[in-house]
A and B are shown apart, each in its own frame.
Chain A
Amino acid sequence: MPVLETANGAEWRLRNQREALTRWAAWLVGVVIFLWCWARISDATTWFFVWDAPRIAGDILDRATPPRWSYMDNLWLPIWDTLNIATLGTIGALILAVPVAFLAARNTTPSALFVRPIALLIIVSTRSINSLIWALLLIAIIGPGVFAGIIAIAIRSIGFCAKLLYEAIEEIDQTQVEAITATGASRWQVMVYGIVPQIMPAFAGISVFRWDINIRESTVLGLVGAGGIGLQLQASLNTLAWPQVSLILLVILAAVVLSEWVSAKVRGAII
């Protein structure tokens, strides 16, 4: 008991002696495990390379500056491709995610026993595989290029969008749905009047958020040959053209900042 009866009245502590000892022992075990792991990692590291790292990094930085600005002429098209991959991929994902979300939400699914698990499986499976891996698979299937990138982004985003959307659907105010049902409206009318207005803000927020993420993801898709600015990055890295690499990184940074700004504006406008 944390409350101790002493001669001077009741004394209160957060934990009794036994709990305090248990916690102390748990901390001891934790620290020992940490130190042991530390030693293992240390043994497996070639410390020469680590000590050397600052010099090498400095060397690369040295070679990478100043960026080769003239290379920009070769980057306009790839960055445009990248933006298109992200935008079209997001639109495609949303078109597929909306029905999946309605099938997955507990209050709109036609069958909680059969349809809902399938919808949840789609959500989990598309979410759990990285877009780079989707791109690799799709390049094997439909060949390299922008189209493979779009599909990769779209598939990867279905799960994300559908999951957030079905959670929004499950959180709607059910009495508004009841009220529309009570007027004698059909199932689809109930959806359009009772449910859709309630999830519109969530839908808009999710779309812009995912588009923002997809801009980042699509910048690396080129690494595996799925179009966009990553292709140039790959080529420049392979030829150790560091000034080009630094320019590409700057362009990617600019694109990401731009998308952040747009999505912040749009979300501000919705709320």
Chain B
Amino acid sequence: MLRLDALTKTYKTGDQALKAVTVDVPPGQVIALIGPSGAGKSTLIRCINRLVEPTSGSVMLEDINLTSLKPGALRRERRRMGMIFQEYALVERLTVMENVLSGRLGYVGFWRSVTRRFPQKDVDEAFRLLDRVGLLHMADKRADQLSGGQRQRVGICRALIQDPALLLVDEPTASLDPKTSRQIMRLICELCAERGLAAIINIHDVALAQMFVARVIGLRFGEVVYDGGPDGLTPDKLTEIYGEEDWEATIEKVDDDADTTIEAAE
């Protein structure tokens, strides 16, 4: 469904953030993208919807080559890619409802968006999504009155109301506490499963990634060094991705986490 082919990004400073990255994402698959800071995870995600212009290579969304699109066509394709951000990136001074509805901007004309007259269908969908993430009672609050976890839920609603085929998720849990992090990851993965969405999730927390996703891609210095199931992340592999460190604790923690999740579920 999404195919990155030899995607390369070289910044003006000469830093090569991505070196010919090739990844194939089948429909409905959720992928965790792990790697140390500066490995190019954020750049990779932003090259897909061209918030960052890739230097070379191609990004195929179904049969459309995103890298060669003109601005107008690019905007139309961006509507099919929902994005969720690390610091939530809500417009702080707008209400929760306005933030959610801003996901529909690509479908609504300029004056209707200025006067906030969104189609009733979109408003209904916004209420439904807010209800789904448990924030219906917050619809009229300003975004800066919400807690971190609540904001990220609004961010998720904004991405989903686009009715996307693909979610691009950039460090969704980096600003959240451990419990909220899990809730948010669980919510994202559940919603992807419900709607059959493919997703690429940048994440620092290896244990969290292993808990929720079926496929992990390890990035190091802009190159894919691991691509496989979460169980294949042995200490050797983690050393290859992140560098020398004692990984037993991290991997053991995964088991503990898995147990507690199962207990909680029961």
B94:A193 contact, CB within 8 angstroms: yes
Residues of B within 8 A of A178 (CB): 51, 85, 89
Cβ of B1 within 8 Å of any chain A Cβ, yes or no, is no
B106:A185 contact, CB within 8 angstroms: yes
A198:B91 contact, CB within 8 angstroms: yes
B92:A198 contact, CB within 8 angstroms: yes
User: With the chains together, A189 CA to B105 CA distance in Å?
Assistant: 7
Cβ of B67 within 8 Å of any chain A Cβ, yes or no, is no
A200:B93 contact, CB within 8 angstroms: yes
B91 is contacted by which of A180, A181, A188, A201 (Cβ under 8 Å)?
Answer: A180
Cβ of A182 within 8 Å of any chain B Cβ, yes or no, is yes
Task: Report B166 CB to chain A, min CB distance, Å.
Answer: 12
Task: Report B62 CB to chain A, min CB distance, Å.
Answer: 16
B93 is contacted by which of A175, A182, A183, A197 (Cβ under 8 Å)?
Answer: A197
Residues of B within 8 A of A198 (CB): 91-93
Interface residues of B, count at CB 8 A: 31
Given the contacts A175-B89, A179-B89, A188 and B110 also touching, CB distance less than 8 Å: yes
Residues of A within 8 A of B81 (CB): 182
User: With the chains together, A197 CA to B93 CA distance in Å?
Assistant: 6
Cβ of B125 within 8 Å of any chain A Cβ, yes or no, is no
Given the contacts A189-B110, A200-B93, A182 and B102 also touching, CB distance less than 8 Å: no
B92:A183 contact, CB within 8 angstroms: no
User: With the chains together, A193 CA to B83 CA distance in Å?
Assistant: 16
Cβ of B79 within 8 Å of any chain A Cβ, yes or no, is yes
User: With the chains together, A260 CA to B103 CA distance in Å?
Assistant: 42
User: With the chains together, A197 CA to B144 CA distance in Å?
Assistant: 12
Q: Mark out the residues of chain A between 166 and 200 whose CB falls within 8 Å of any chain B CB in the assembled complex.
A: 173, 175-176, 178-186, 188-189, 192-194, 197-198, 200
Cβ of B162 within 8 Å of any chain A Cβ, yes or no, is yes
Task: Report A174 CB to chain B, min CB distance, Å.
Answer: 9
A183:B94 contact, CB within 8 angstroms: no
User: With the chains together, A227 CA to B95 CA distance in Å?
Assistant: 45
A182 is contacted by which of B83, B90, B94 (Cβ under 8 Å)?
Answer: B83
Q: Mark out the residues of chain B between 3 and 22 whose CB falls within 8 Å of any chain A CB in the assembled complex.
A: none
Cβ of B220 within 8 Å of any chain A Cβ, yes or no, is no
A176:B110 contact, CB within 8 angstroms: no
Interface residues as binary, B68-96 with A (CB distance below 8 Å gives 1, 0 otherwise)? 00000001111101110101011111100
Q: Which of B76, B90, B91 has most chain A Cβ within 10 Å?
A: B91
B92 is contacted by which of A176, A182, A188, A189 (Cβ under 8 Å)?
Answer: A176
Chain B interface residues toward A at CB < 8 A:
49, 51, 75-79, 81-83, 85, 87, 89-94, 98, 102-106, 110, 113-114, 155, 158, 162, 168
Given A179-B155, A186-B105, 13 more pairs with CB closer than 8 A: A176-B89, A181-B78, A182-B168, A183-B104, A184-B75, A184-B76, A184-B106, A189-B105, A193-B98, A193-B105, A197-B91, A197-B93, A198-B91
